[in-house]
Amino acid sequence: MRAVIQRVSQASVNIHNNTHTSIKQGLVIFLGIESNDNIDDIVWLTGKIQRLRIFNDAQLQMNLSISDINGEILIISQFTLFASTKKGNRPSYIRAARPETAITLYRQFIQHMQTLLPGKVQTGKFGEHMQISMANDGPVTIIIDTKNKE
């Protein structure tokens, strides 16, 4: 499982020219699901995100977590995070989970994040073409991969 996490002052998702959802200060999480991901990846990643101290304290140091600031989260499924560009110019997505597997894990990820941050989690729509608007705050962008825990 791979997540690109962006600290934002606001973000929104539009689907078919209609606002699907929006958040204020918090995190946008682009979530890629690999074919061999499982519940262990979900538990580890959601906990890591909840505890990630990337928000400024009173001294403008990144010492606060999403929980500390009472922030919101927007989760967007993005299979292209597992694109391979090793061969040729057209990316291969062979490592990305098939939709029937990915949707289940995506929903479990959302549910687990909702238990950690009740009332603070919004989502895009799995499999839809979406327009994501956001104001990256900082900018702060963190990449986390459950198979490469750095």
User: Could you give the 3-state DSSP secondary structure of residue 97?
Assistant: coil
Task: Characterize the bridge pairing of strands 2-15 and 131-145.
Answer: antiparallel
- The residue behind tokens 């990630």 is 52
* Rounded Cα distance, 1 and 8, in Å: 22
Residue 39 belongs to some domain of the structure: yes
Total number of domains in the chain: 1
Told to judge if 80 belongs to the known catalytic residues of this protein, a careful annotator would answer: yes
Question: Phi and psi at residue 23, in whole multiples of 5°?
Answer: -135, 165
Residue 150 belongs to some domain of the structure: no
Which residues make beta-bridge pairs with 74?
Answer: 28, 122
User: Which residue in the list 19, 21, 46, 80 is annotated as catalytic?
Assistant: 80
Q: Is 48's pLDDT higher than 80?
A: yes
Residue 30 belongs to some domain of the structure: yes
CATH code assigned at 30: 3.50.80.10
Band (97; pLDDT cuts 50, 70, 90): very high
Question: So what's the pLDDT on residue 44?
Answer: 97
Residue 96 belongs to some domain of the structure: yes
Question: So what's the pLDDT on residue 26?
Answer: 98
Residue 24 belongs to some domain of the structure: yes
Domain that holds residue 78: 2-145
